[in-house]
Amino acid sequence: MALTFLAQPRFSSGLVIMTPGVEDLARQGKINPAIYLRRHLSADWGDLDDSDRRQNNAALKSGENRLFSSYQVTPTLKLWIITEWDRSITTLLLPSEY
Protein backbone atom coordinates (compact mmCIF):
# COMPACT_ATOMS: atom_id res chain seq x y z
CA MET A 1 0.00 0.00 0.00
CA ALA A 2 1.45 3.37 -1.00
CA LEU A 3 1.24 6.24 1.43
CA THR A 4 0.43 9.67 0.09
CA PHE A 5 1.68 12.72 1.94
CA LEU A 6 -0.33 15.83 1.17
CA ALA A 7 1.26 18.73 2.98
CA GLN A 8 -0.65 21.96 3.30
CA PRO A 9 0.84 24.78 1.23
CA ARG A 10 2.91 27.20 3.32
CA PHE A 11 2.51 30.04 0.81
CA SER A 12 0.53 31.01 -2.26
CA SER A 13 1.87 29.98 -5.64
CA GLY A 14 0.10 32.69 -7.60
CA LEU A 15 -0.12 31.80 -11.27
CA VAL A 16 1.79 28.58 -12.01
CA ILE A 17 3.60 28.31 -15.32
CA MET A 18 5.98 25.82 -16.92
CA THR A 19 8.67 26.58 -19.43
CA PRO A 20 8.53 24.74 -22.77
CA GLY A 21 11.21 22.27 -21.64
CA VAL A 22 9.29 21.23 -18.53
CA GLU A 23 6.02 21.09 -20.44
CA ASP A 24 7.62 18.83 -23.07
CA LEU A 25 9.04 16.46 -20.43
CA ALA A 26 5.65 16.32 -18.69
CA ARG A 27 3.88 15.60 -21.96
CA GLN A 28 6.33 12.73 -22.61
CA GLY A 29 5.66 11.32 -19.13
CA LYS A 30 9.28 11.86 -18.04
CA ILE A 31 8.35 14.13 -15.14
CA ASN A 32 5.29 14.78 -13.00
CA PRO A 33 5.62 18.49 -12.17
CA ALA A 34 2.78 18.37 -9.61
CA ILE A 35 4.89 16.28 -7.24
CA TYR A 36 7.66 18.88 -7.17
CA LEU A 37 5.27 21.82 -7.03
CA ARG A 38 3.64 20.31 -3.92
CA ARG A 39 7.07 19.89 -2.32
CA HIS A 40 8.00 23.49 -3.14
CA LEU A 41 4.74 24.89 -1.76
CA SER A 42 5.19 22.91 1.47
CA ALA A 43 8.67 24.50 1.92
CA ASP A 44 10.60 21.35 0.99
CA TRP A 45 13.30 23.16 -0.94
CA GLY A 46 14.83 20.01 -2.39
CA ASP A 47 18.54 19.82 -3.08
CA LEU A 48 19.77 23.15 -1.72
CA ASP A 49 22.70 23.87 0.55
CA ASP A 50 22.16 25.20 4.08
CA SER A 51 22.75 28.82 3.07
CA ASP A 52 20.08 28.70 0.35
CA ARG A 53 17.67 26.94 2.72
CA ARG A 54 18.16 29.67 5.32
CA GLN A 55 17.54 32.34 2.65
CA ASN A 56 14.31 30.62 1.61
CA ASN A 57 13.13 30.24 5.19
CA ALA A 58 13.81 33.93 5.86
CA ALA A 59 11.98 34.87 2.65
CA LEU A 60 9.06 32.68 3.67
CA LYS A 61 8.75 34.58 6.96
CA SER A 62 9.32 38.07 5.59
CA GLY A 63 7.47 37.72 2.29
CA GLU A 64 10.06 40.03 0.78
CA ASN A 65 12.18 37.76 -1.43
CA ARG A 66 11.65 35.05 -3.98
CA LEU A 67 11.56 31.36 -3.07
CA PHE A 68 13.74 28.89 -4.95
CA SER A 69 13.77 25.09 -4.99
CA SER A 70 15.95 22.64 -6.86
CA TYR A 71 15.11 18.97 -7.35
CA GLN A 72 17.36 16.29 -8.84
CA VAL A 73 14.66 14.32 -10.68
CA THR A 74 17.08 11.83 -12.27
CA PRO A 75 20.89 11.72 -12.36
CA THR A 76 20.78 13.89 -15.50
CA LEU A 77 17.59 15.92 -14.93
CA LYS A 78 17.22 18.82 -12.54
CA LEU A 79 14.06 20.89 -12.03
CA TRP A 80 14.02 24.39 -10.60
CA ILE A 81 10.96 26.11 -9.15
CA ILE A 82 10.91 29.84 -8.45
CA THR A 83 8.11 31.76 -6.74
CA GLU A 84 8.45 35.51 -7.17
CA TRP A 85 8.87 37.73 -4.10
CA ASP A 86 5.26 38.97 -4.25
CA ARG A 87 3.95 35.39 -4.66
CA SER A 88 2.24 36.39 -7.91
CA ILE A 89 3.79 33.71 -10.10
CA THR A 90 5.57 30.38 -9.72
CA THR A 91 7.69 29.08 -12.59
CA LEU A 92 8.82 25.51 -13.15
CA LEU A 93 11.91 25.45 -15.34
CA LEU A 94 15.01 23.57 -16.34
CA PRO A 95 18.33 25.17 -15.37
CA SER A 96 19.17 25.55 -19.06
CA GLU A 97 16.07 27.73 -19.48
CA TYR A 98 17.04 30.25 -16.80
What count of residues does the chain have?
98
Does residue 66 contact residue 90 with C-beta atoms inside 8 Å?
no
Predicted TM-score of the model (pTM) = 0.91
E-assigned strand segments in the chain: 15-18, 67-74, 77-83, 89-93
Q: How far apart, in whole angstroms, are the C-alpha atoms of residue 67 and residue 45?
A: 9
User: Could you read off the pLDDT of 3-19 as tens digits, one per residue?
Assistant: 345 568 999 999 999 99
Q: What is the pLDDT, as a whole number, of residue 8?
A: 83
Q: How far apart, in whole angstroms, are the C-alpha atoms of residue 66 and residue 76?
A: 26
List the one residue out of 16, 17, 22 whose CA is nearest residue 71.
22
